[in-house]
Structure 1
Amino acid sequence: MQKIAIVGAGRVGEAAAQFIAQNDMAREIAMLDVREGAAEGCALDIQETAPLFKFDTRLSGSTDPAILRDAGIIVVTAGIPRKPGMSRSDVLDTNVRIIDEIVDNIMRYAPDAILLFVSNPVDVLTWRAWKRSGLPRERVIGQAGVLDSSRMAAFVALETGLCSCDINAMVLGGHGDSMVPMLRYTTINGIPVDKFLDAQALERIVTRTRGGGAEVLALRKNSSAYDAPGAAVAQMVEAIVTDRKRVLPSVAILQGEYSYPDGAMGVPCVLGKNGLERIVELDLNASETAMFKHSMESVLADIARLH
């Protein structure tokens, strides 16, 4: 891809830019931030790692939204972060105003881009951006499940002592306390995870996965997570740039899938050059269906606040 843009030069945006540049996913990365010098400084800092990591991507930064012009993918990380004790929904009122302005600038300068949202609450803001932009749902997706699934897989590795590379986890639902960790679809080299861990250990993993971001925030106190979210963004971008047709849990606009005619939810998606290429509908048992419904109702309640 010729150009990828990142809106928000905070820690998540910076981490994502570093991973994307380091893996030569685009010839150019453009960073946008409202803070004077923030995007420029971030871009320059990453650019100076190019000789060490042997990449040739060119980075630039600006406060002028015109820098988004002609970007093929735009990653949106801008917004106020959570503070300890805050939920993702607590930042909705402020962040929706920020997202509205960003979407308007995108439609002015890069109306053909694929949009990837990271800003919280990501499910609600992905839906809002889709509505405001008028873009097809294939080009407006959110990052949540890749991060949550990575966290769950990491916790399985820590509990079992087994190699992280062999662990595949799946997390559906909203990106918050009501997310749906799918133990039935979590495996270690194809073997169901419950062959390695008892019910108590699995419950610890589920609880820790749901609070994964809050745990990092509570430990750091002055910063939420950014390395893992940045890596998750890069994995989704890589799937689109290389047209790999990867199955990755992503926030998608539902139009009948999982029995919901509207809304945005983390579900398994096939990602390729067109963005969202297909939603994979899993057969959920009664317990999973109840958790999915609870998660969806939480997202829909936040969406209703926007009307």
Structure 2
Amino acid sequence: MARPKISLIGGGQIGGVLAQLCALRELGDVVLFDIVEGMPQGKMLDIAEVARVDGFDVDLKGTNSYADIAGSNVVIVTAGLPRKPGMSRDDLLGVNAKIMSQVSEGIKEYAPDAFVIIISNPLDAMVTLCQKVTGFPPERVMGQAGVLDSNRFCSFIAWELGVSVRDVNAMVLGGHGDTMVPIIRYANVNGVPVMEQLVRKYGDEAKANEVMTAMVERTKAAGGEVVKLLGNGSAFYSPASSAIAMAEAILRDQKRVLPTCALLQGEFGVDNYYVGVPCVLGAGGVESIIEFSLDEQEQALFDKSVAAVKGLIDELPTILPDLADVLNS
């Protein structure tokens, strides 16, 4: 029985970690593509040479040709410029839209049956662009953001309460940017509401709200915090691990419920826009969207986040006038 094939578009920091994680988990054979000659070949050779130590047995290939992604079951796209200190994800729209349009054409030609997971920023706009250019069914094109943002939120809660992060459940919805929406109401530690635990810890509801607000704001700014500390580049371990969770759910038909940038068609009051919501990921890709009621405040924040996504998408035809008809379809 042939192993699945995973192709990674973009051989930078995230691409290298993705390749290593795919190998360690033996998710399938891996191809790492980049336009820089020698770089993806060198990274894959480096990983392949520790197969015995790490105990994996898959084929690894670095390439500068899109033709080598033929037959891919899953394609993960990281191509594009990373953020620099002081930049928002949205600042990358102009340059990364041009890169994504080229990448999408390559996927469309050589991997027409693949599921596509986008990591490139600004995430929601890049997923939209990829789906429009490839013409793939929306359940096969999705974005990684909510898994990462939700896990960051969970980490901050765990650190604050002094509990294992494995027992914390929390979810972030909306666009992958400054307007993302951490859902406080459902955050819990093995079913016990986080807010109740914070009130018990501090003995004061006002202080508990202050602490939660700080964690929410840190979640929204978490990517920028990493960018500032690194000084040159952006987060790569956490986005890679988050994307691998999505790829594994699809390849192994796990039916995982993961926050995913998916095309909404009426859910949460949004029609025909990609935005982060809880989805069931399995062999069919985005197999369903799990909708639940938002309270008035949550809905207002979600609507604001969707409006920010719409604003970015509205700019795409100006940046890519040759694709205006496709983008407006």
- Residue 273 (structure 1) aligned with residue 283 (structure 2): yes
Poorly superposed stretches of 4+, deviation over 3 Å:
none
Partner of 2:259: 249
Partner of 2:320: none
Q: Is the 8 A contact 2:4 2:251 kept in 1?
A: no
Measure, in 2, the Cα distance between the counterparts of 1:137 and 1:173.
17
- Residue 5 (structure 1) aligned with residue 7 (structure 2): yes
- Residue 294 (structure 1) aligned with residue 295 (structure 2): no
Measure, in 1, the Cα distance between the counterparts of 2:152 and 2:50.
27
Larger mean Cα displacement after TM superposition, 5-14 or 15-24: 15-24
Partner of 1:75: 76
For 1:201, what is the secondary structure of its paired residue? helix
CA distances 1:166-211 after superposition (whole Å, capped 9, x unpaired): 1111000111110000111211111111121211111111011000
Displacement of 1:38 in angstroms is 1.3
Aligned AA for 1:133?
Answer: T
Aligned AA for 2:175?
Answer: G
Aligned AA for 2:213?
Answer: E
Displacement of 1:223 in angstroms is 2.0
Unaligned 5+ runs, structure 2: 199-207, 318-329
Aligned AA for 2:22?
Answer: I
- Residue 20 (structure 1) aligned with residue 22 (structure 2): yes
Partner of 1:221: 231
Partner of 1:110: 111
Partner of 2:136: 135
Partner of 2:173: 172
| 1:207-218 equivalent positions in 2, closer than 5 A | 207-218=217-228
Displacement of 1:14 in angstroms is 1.1
In percent, how many aligned pairs have the same letter?
43
Measure, in 2, the Cα distance between the counterparts of 1:98 and 1:114.
19
Larger mean Cα displacement after TM superposition, 147-156 or 196-205: 196-205
Measure, in 2, the Cα distance between the counterparts of 1:216 and 1:49.
29
Measure, in 2, the Cα distance between the counterparts of 1:51 and 1:286.
55
TM-score in terms of structure 1 length: 0.98
Partner of 2:322: none
For 1:306, what is the secondary structure of its paired residue? helix
Displacement of 1:49 in angstroms is 2.7
Displacement of 1:116 in angstroms is 0.4
Partner of 2:324: none
For 2:113, what is the secondary structure of its paired residue? coil
Measure, in 2, the Cα distance between the counterparts of 1:273 and 1:211.
33
CA distances 1:81-120 after superposition (whole Å, capped 9, x unpaired): 1111111111111111111111111111110000100000
Partner of 1:97: 98
Give RMSD over aligned pairs.
0.9
For 2:265, what is the secondary structure of its paired residue? coil
Measure, in 1, the Cα distance between the counterparts of 2:216 and 2:50.
37
CA distance change for structure 1 residues 99 and 190 in 2, over 3 Å: closer, same or farther?
A: same
Measure, in 2, the Cα distance between the counterparts of 1:291 and 1:49.
47
